[in-house]
Amino acid sequence: MAMTGVLRPGHAQVRVLNLEEAVKFYRDVLGLVETGCDAQGRVYFKCWDERDHNSYVIREADRAGIDFFAFKVLDKATLDKLDADLQVYGIKTERIPAGEMLETGERVRFELPSGHVMELYAEKTVIGNGLPIVNPAPWTRQREHGIGPVRLDHALLYGPNVAEVQKIFTEVLGFYLVERVLTPDGENNAAIWLSCSHKVHDIAFAEYPEKGKLHHCSFLMESWEQVLRAGDIMSMNKVAVDIGPTRHGVTRGCTIYAWDPSGNRFETFMGGYQPYPDNTEPLTWTFDNFGQGLDYPQRKLHETFLTVVS
Ligand code: M3P
Ligand code: FE
């Protein structure tokens, strides 16, 4: 499959209430690799098997939540084209100069009708995963530190105007709809799962009255056993667990939802199926089956899934 246009999730910037506590949590409990700290006081992380300098950035603020979520695009020409396409579509864009984030090239920033700030960028310094390019071992000791996810996989965001958001992702940014949950009347989508790749989702949105909310950032684990080990590590560290370990009906992903010390939900996740972009019929869940969509074994629409966001 040719991968062009928008390639994949690139970075999320998340607000935390206490930076020191959050650094300890993300470094030692989630097991991310700390890669830097900038003049604004932001701390940068990546997952052990990611090669680019950063994928998860935190900054201290008086409320939790997400500042922005970014996608990496193929190259500079693609960045310019998507910027122009967004403007033609009627979306105002802004250029953030290279270097504003550590080791990161110029970014194109825009706001979705859901109130979420999105970014596109083409360049980020490759620092590698600690393994040689020639004859690498399959993993490093870093994988054994804390939960140790492989990569930032996707995010689920809550806000209004999901139908408009879907149009922007599918008509401008080259995503396709993989799954959806219908509203109770069956007329609209209550939640959508969108992919720009062969992944079951790169980003998802759920309809919610308040703008710009974070439901979760998700981190990929290599196996179900690693998800269960993540659960053990959460309990050993008294992490607040929301749901799981279980399996979503939607995406078939195997999951645990939990909260960081500031109340930002994150997910440790594995599996799901691999759709191709010629997928023309999104899997559709009726609202009365939302419980299976969220937690297939228990068939339970956990209250927190609908109401707790940051
Ligand atoms: C996911 C995910 C719901 C949830 C599915 C969630 C409702 O696929 O990755 O978090 O159905
Ligand atoms: Fe998820």
Q: Model confidence over 216-260: pLDDT tens digits?
A: 999 999 999 999 999 999 999 999 999 999 999 999 999 999 999
Q: State the pLDDT at residue 279.
A: 80
Q: What is the mean pLDDT of residues 162-171?
A: 98
* Ligand 1 atom 7, closest CA: 294
Q: State the pLDDT at residue 276.
A: 87
Per the prediction, the chain carries an average pLDDT of 97
β-bridge pairing 283-285 and 176-182:
parallel
Q: Is 164 a catalytic residue?
A: no
Token pair 């870093």 in the structure block, residue: 142
| Amino acid symbol at 108 | V
Task: Check pocket membership of 218 for ligand 1, CB cut-off 6 A.
Answer: yes
Tell me the two tokens of residue 202. 């790169």
* Ligand 1 atom 4, closest CA: 294
Q: Is 53 a catalytic residue?
A: no
Sheet of 117-121, strands arranged across: 33-37, 43-46, 56-60, 6-16, 65-73, 117-121, 107-111, 93-96
- 125 to 39, 79, 89, 152: CA distances (angstroms): 18, 17, 31, 17
Q: Which of 11, 53, 154, 215 is catalytic?
A: 154
Torsion of CA 163, 169, 175, 179, to 10 degrees: -20
**Ligand 1 mutation target, pool 152, 156, 300, most atoms within 8 A of CB:** 156
**Which of these ranges, 157-166, 208-217, 227-236, 277-286, has the smallest mean pLDDT?**
277-286
Q: State the pLDDT at residue 119.
A: 98
- The question of ipTM being above 0.85 is answered as yes
Q: Which atom of ligand 1 is nearest to the CA of 191?
A: 7
Buried/exposed 168-191: b ≥16 CB within 10 Å, e otherwise: bbeebbbbbbbbbbbeeeeeebbb
Q: Which helix (H) or strand (E) holds 304?
A: helix 303-307
In the chain, residues under CATH classification 3.10.180.10 are: 6-143, 153-307
Question: What CATH architecture applies to the domain 153-307?
Answer: Roll (3.10)
Question: What CATH architecture applies to the domain 6-143?
Answer: Roll (3.10)
| Amino acid symbol at 275 | P
* Chain centre distance of CA 84: 25
- 47 to 57, 162, 179, 244, 270: CA distances (angstroms): 12, 30, 27, 22, 15
- Confidence class for position 278, pLDDT limits 50, 70, 90: confident
Q: State the pLDDT at residue 111.
A: 98
Q: Which helix (H) or strand (E) holds 173?
A: none
pLDDT at 90 over 80: yes
Cα–ligand 1 centroid distance for 99 (angstroms): 34
Q: What is the pLDDT of residues 142-164, one digit of tens each?
A: 999 999 999 999 999 999 999 99
If 0-12 CB within 10 Å is exposed, 13-18 middle and 19+ buried, where does residue 278 land?
exposed
pLDDT at 56 over 70: yes
- 28 to 4, 16, 40, 42, 250: CA distances (angstroms): 35, 16, 23, 18, 30
Quote the CA–CA distance of 14 and 125 in Å, as a whole number. Answer: 21
Q: State the pLDDT at residue 1.
A: 57
- 147 φ, ψ to 5°? -65, -40
pLDDT at 2 over 80: no
Decide: 78 and 15 in contact? Cβ < 8 Å.
Answer: no
Q: Which atom of ligand 1 is nearest to the CA of 193?
A: 8
